[in-house]
Structure 1
Amino acid sequence: MISLIPQTKQWIMKEGAGFASAGPLAAELRLEREDPRLERQCHRLFPGVAVQVETASAGSGYSARIGRTDGQDAGSRKPADEQDWPMAAGKREGYRLRIDENGAAIWAPDAAGLFYGLQTFRQLMEQSDTMPAGTIADWPDTALRCMNYDLRQTYSKPERLVAYLADFARYKVNGLLIEYEDKFPFETYPELVHPNHALSREQFEELKREAHEHFIEIIPLQQSFGHLEYVLRHDKYKHLRETEKSLGELCPSREESYGLVTGLLAEMMDRHPESRYIHLGCDEVYSLCECEMCREQYDGVRERAFIAFLNRLIAFTADRGKTPIFWHDMLDKCPEEELSRLDKRGIAMIWIYNGRNIDSEVSALTLKFRKLGIEVMGAPAVRSFDWAEHQNYPVIVNRVDNLLQWTETSERLGIDCMVATNWTGPFSLGMPYGVFETTWYPMLLHADLCWNRGSDPATFIDRFLYQFHGIEPEVGHAKLGNYRIEDYYDIIWKLRDEVRLNRDYAELIAIMHDYEKATDRSRAIHKYLYRWELFPGDAAERRSLLNNYQRNHRGREDVRPRMRAALERYQPSDMAAHFVSSRFYLHDYLEKTIYRELGMNLEE
């Protein structure tokens, strides 16, 4: 089995010898327009390869050959006959790849397509010393295929945020939605910059530079209505809240609110000059129209207040040359007469993360917006609340179901941008959901399905285990028998001895599993404490409680230092400590209170 992520569209195997990749290689690039990124990518993907770059004639697109340095003249071969590639011809970001005994030849209409052809060739080289002869035609089904950095809670070290861009690009991701919050290096609002964890200007510039290097477009997200806790918590701005209790929700009736938000948006846009889009946020504005000013100005109609303020923001961003995006939810039930007032230059990003009716719900919303000339984008989730706030890795049954439903719906509706939201917490003042590094499995499923909506979900877990962990399907199944797409987090810790790639991620998941095993016993202690009230002083009852307590305590304390050490590979030390504290706080509190009161100990 050849395990590719994403799966390719068309692959015609040919008889005869394939390409033996052992030994010295040479790469030749012919580009219609110069793009130094491609030459650098060849050096990165094939270390030590001699790379020659030539300028091709106008209209010939981009091509590359990678062959042996033993005198074979692969460069004299003609491009693949267009009649063999009726579906690939001219597809943006598509490519055509031919492999024979002399090497590989790749053709593409643009630089990004050639880049993705190189990624496929690289995956093939990594799987065998001899690649099969044949031809591949491949192109994306979704134009903008995005991942998500949410920097509000616990997240990866800046150098890892940069390094992961190459991993995204390997799997043909070309967009990244970033919610910086107070981690953005604001210059006009220095009081909003986090004192410890904000990106430095140098780190921010490196992040943008590496995104461009890997053909990834950054979409900055600047909250502008709700989820502004990091702003409105400051005494300087708290008078702009809709109500005293609404810690993160802005009052749209105050002109100062508009001045604050447009100031934030202006700097965010100016610092992302290559980004076509700016995401305005605007979700979950729960207290809208609760203040007296808003009730009077908008007759108490929440949608009217929302649209009036949103229209000003859309106009502000569009006039500066950016396409504004907003979350859909505040307009979910909006009457058409109110919705018709919405500025058509904005794009509604529909986020629906759960339920069995994604198609009907998204279809109704898409029709509602498009009828008024408003385009839509889609946002499934690779990690979200899932009624499990302290999850340590995604609730994968929900995430797989959500991604598969969205894939069918986006194909039918022609939705051309899909963002895999990956939330670190419900909001900046909440408990962290989990660790970014445990989300690679659903992230790559999203990448697989966005590129090729016809990709086979039944083979994804085997392809992922091979691509990401180096576990061949026959090895995994020989050890564990059958498993399905939803079983990854249940099996990867059992396959640690077989893992050859990204072992540290598998170890992290194993540690989280050990934590959950220990804390499950803790819930049993809580549940049976009432028996001590029923049978005070009973020796058997005390022994039962003590046995459970001791097992639980030892299990938790065994996990705690391992969890902290594992997290510090990925996160700053104090951030890792914050995550560990969020997981152990309740248990530590019970130790200091009820367990001590009951005289629980480890010696008896």
Structure 2
Amino acid sequence: MASFIPQVKQQHLTEAPRAFAWGGRLKVTLLMERRDDRLELHCRRLMPGMELSVREGAEGYAVRMEHVLAGDSGGQSSFETGVKEQSALDRFISVGGMDAIKGKPEGYILQVGEDAIGIQSQDAAGLFYGLQTLRQLVEQHRDIPAVTIVDWPDTAIRCMNYDLRQTYSKPERLEAYLAEFARYKTNAVLIEYEDKFPFAAYPELVHPKHALSREQFERLKLAAHEHFIEIIPLQQSFGHLEYVLRHDSYKHLRETEKSIGEICPSQEESYQLITGLLEEMIASHPESRYIHLGCDEVYSLCECDACRERYEGVRERAFIAFLNRLIAFTAERGKTPIFWHDMLDKCPEEELRHLDKRSVAMIWIYNGRNIDSDVSTLTEKFRRLGIRVMGAPAVRSFDWAEHQNYPVIVNRVDNLLQWAATSEKLELDCVVATNWTGPFSLGVPYGVFETTWYPMLLHADLAWNRRSDADTFIDRFLHQFHGIRPEVGHGKLGNYRIEDYYDIIWKLTDEVKLNRDYAELIAIMRDYEVATDKSRAIHKYLYRLELFPGDAAERRSLLNNYQRNRRKRDNVRPRMQAALERYQPEDMAAHFVLSRFYLHDYLERTIYREIGMNLEE
């Protein structure tokens, strides 16, 4: 059977004389309770050249596909001519009709017979997700076996993350990736634009080279809508405002001179600035139900004299007072405000009781073995006071390693699996896979977006189906994302497990049939790591010149290590630059490459030259 991502809830193979042969002329009937042009668009994309009939006024949403027989004029089929469209669908679907997904928004039923394929849902999004499952079937089986699939999501808001603060993909790729998210049944994306947002009222905050143009921004929104994805904008409002407070014109709003990313809540001008940014962000996202206020890691709270006096030195009091003003501002404009939980992690209940209940706390915990205990305690704390909770694991985060190149997958898999179990227990209706490009906008980039598809799709798998079989995920991913069947992968490499993806994909590049460029990028990043491995880096051996000054054997040993290391680095650098330019603007790719090679370049100019290392000797 197909390697589904996300893994479907129920599938039943049924007996049929033959499979449904995909291809040829298809007659397609699309029934909609209310017209949604997106469904027609996606039907045409999945089945180009089909004969499509669209009917409105049905009960729910459904699509039926059948072959156009010789001599068929393409007129109405018996499926279309029933007195009541829904009753015709109920006869076609043999597992109880809509009852199987009743009360399950975005659920669908897909049935493949020898002569027809039908998909049925209560809502437009559910029919869209049924089409995505059919797409996966079609891509893996030209002759589709007779099967009935009943499927629905466990999590209402299944969210990915664009972090545009450091390095990010070209705008056209950001658009294209939304389609990929939707393919795997993701329905939201949290976007932290920072200085890449095309602010009209604050042009001084717009990045001079890499900000989205207004046209690019509008296309991004259109692509999200087209694929049933809600954009949740993230506008930092308290901390992580380096891109604002670095400017001399806003420097006076810092909590202290040293706190370059944290704004002072006691200054009225701070509130005017932040609400000005929020106003523009809200107006630019009219279809978004939420706006994320950020508000994490505000480390310098109550350090200025004004805040210490006004809030009596109580950090949580200062935080809640300013946050409440932002919540009120946002809620009054029809949006539900979200904030990161960490500044209220240990907040006394007598202070937390003052928090505006119109807000949502998003709990982010990225490491540790006690996600269930930690998240449950925090969730109970917030819910007891009437505050809704959302969750945020990470598909890439700090992980004590700024030069990651690709995620620290052992940590990420563990975090995602723990969060899936905890989300089910706590019935969280929103889980975001945070995907950070760096610790903050002035930091070192962790890695590039394109190396994170593996944990992102694990999140998609678990957000839709919290009980998905994690043991089979790597096989399903390799099959679905790279076109490598399990028998091929295991036949070449033997045994491997869910956390082994980055260790094995570079060994399977000859077998990769899909998304080969991502596999090649990971292979290049691995070559970089081999070339700069700490155990081989020459600067780790330099102390021996102090121990054995003038010793020819010591110098020869150092020179051997230097030459081996240098040649490997010289080989990988242009390959890394060229690979990154597929995804990023040239200068942004160069920024990432420089972040990886700077130390080695610096040592070349200084200490290596000083001790006479060279490639010729």
Q: Is the contact between residue 522 and residue 552 of structure 1 (CA under 8 Å) also seen in structure 2?
A: no
Map residues 136-285 of structure 1 onto 2, 5 A cutoff.
136-285=149-298
Corresponding residue number in structure 1 for 2:45: 44
Residue of structure 1 aligned with 2:554, choices 536, 541, 554 = 541
Map residues 180-579 of structure 1 onto 2, 5 A cutoff.
180-520=193-533, 524-579=537-592
Q: Distance in 2 between matches of 1:460 and 1:180?
A: 32
**Greater mean deviation of Cα atoms: 513-522 or 133-142:** 513-522
- Per the alignment, in what secondary structure is the counterpart of residue 51 of structure 1? strand
1:592 to 2:605 alignment = yes
- Superposition deviation, residue 47 in structure 1: 2.2
Corresponding residue number in structure 1 for 2:79: 75
Q: Distance in 1 between matches of 2:100 and 2:60?
A: 17
Corresponding residue number in structure 1 for 2:85: none
Corresponding residue number in structure 2 for 1:63: 62
Q: Distance in 1 between matches of 2:10 and 2:179?
A: 25
Q: Distance in 2 between matches of 1:603 and 1:521?
A: 23
Check 1:296–1:592 CA distance in 2 against 1; reply closer, same or farther (3 A cut). same
Q: Which amino acid aligns with 2:246?
A: R
**Greater mean deviation of Cα atoms: 74-83 or 307-316:** 74-83
Corresponding residue number in structure 2 for 1:18: 19
Q: Is the contact between residue 522 and residue 549 of structure 1 (CA under 8 Å) also seen in structure 2?
A: no
Q: Distance in 2 between matches of 1:387 and 1:377?
A: 25
Q: Which amino acid aligns with 1:18?
A: A
- Superposition deviation, residue 74 in structure 1: 6.9
Q: Distance in 1 between matches of 2:53 and 2:10?
A: 29
Q: Distance in 2 between matches of 1:498 and 1:348?
A: 44
- Superposition deviation, residue 89 in structure 1: 2.2
Q: Is the contact between residue 74 and residue 102 of structure 1 (CA under 8 Å) also seen in structure 2?
A: no
- Per the alignment, in what secondary structure is the counterpart of residue 246 of structure 1? coil
Aligned length: 602
TM-score, length basis structure 2? 0.96
- Per the alignment, in what secondary structure is the counterpart of residue 173 of structure 2? helix
Give unmatched runs, 5+ long, in structure 1.
none
Check 1:468–1:575 CA distance in 2 against 1; reply closer, same or farther (3 A cut). same
Q: Distance in 1 between matches of 2:366 and 2:234?
A: 19
Residue of structure 1 aligned with 2:147, choices 114, 126, 134 = 134
Corresponding residue number in structure 1 for 2:32: 31
Q: Is the contact between residue 536 and residue 561 of structure 2 (CA under 8 Å) also seen in structure 1?
A: no
Q: Distance in 2 between matches of 1:120 and 1:588?
A: 49
Q: Is the contact between residue 182 and residue 229 of structure 2 (CA under 8 Å) also seen in structure 1?
A: yes
- Superposition deviation, residue 87 in structure 1: 4.3
Q: Which amino acid aligns with 1:482?
A: N
**Greater mean deviation of Cα atoms: 87-96 or 565-574:** 87-96
- Superposition deviation, residue 183 in structure 1: 0.3
Q: Distance in 2 between matches of 1:579 and 1:377?
A: 32
- Per the alignment, in what secondary structure is the counterpart of residue 284 of structure 1? coil
Q: Is the contact between residue 521 and residue 548 of structure 1 (CA under 8 Å) also seen in structure 2?
A: no
| Cα deviations by residue, 1:214-258 (Å, 9 ceiling, x for unpaired) | 000000000000000000000100000000000000000000000
Give unmatched runs, 5+ long, in structure 2.
81-87
- Superposition deviation, residue 84 in structure 1: 6.5
Corresponding residue number in structure 1 for 2:84: none
Q: Is the contact between residue 65 and residue 74 of structure 1 (CA under 8 Å) also seen in structure 2?
A: no
- Per the alignment, in what secondary structure is the counterpart of residue 247 of structure 1? coil
Q: Which amino acid aligns with 1:43?
A: R
1:6 to 2:6 alignment = yes
- Superposition deviation, residue 524 in structure 1: 3.8
Q: Distance in 2 between matches of 1:300 and 1:521?
A: 45
Q: Distance in 2 between matches of 1:24 and 1:134?
A: 22
- Per the alignment, in what secondary structure is the counterpart of residue 532 of structure 2? helix
Q: Which amino acid aligns with 1:31?
A: M
- Per the alignment, in what secondary structure is the counterpart of residue 520 of structure 1? coil
Q: Distance in 2 between matches of 1:110 and 1:85?
A: 11
Q: Which amino acid aligns with 1:397?
A: V
Corresponding residue number in structure 1 for 2:596: 583
Q: Distance in 1 between matches of 2:116 and 2:198?
A: 47
Q: Distance in 1 between matches of 2:404 and 2:564?
A: 22
| Cα deviations by residue, 1:415-463 (Å, 9 ceiling, x for unpaired) | 0100000000000000000000000000000000000111100010010
- Per the alignment, in what secondary structure is the counterpart of residue 533 of structure 1? helix
Q: Distance in 2 between matches of 1:158 and 1:26?
A: 36
- Superposition deviation, residue 523 in structure 1: 5.0
| Cα deviations by residue, 1:272-325 (Å, 9 ceiling, x for unpaired) | 000000000000000000000000000000000000000000000000000000
Q: Distance in 2 between matches of 1:88 and 1:536?
A: 78
Q: Which amino acid aligns with 2:128?
A: F
- Superposition deviation, residue 85 in structure 1: 6.4
| Cα deviations by residue, 1:552-574 (Å, 9 ceiling, x for unpaired) | 00000000000000000000000
Q: CA RMSD in A?
A: 1.2
Identity of aligned residues (%): 76
- Superposition deviation, residue 49 in structure 1: 2.2
| Cα deviations by residue, 1:518-550 (Å, 9 ceiling, x for unpaired) | 000575422221111100111110110000000
Q: Distance in 2 between matches of 1:389 and 1:126?
A: 38
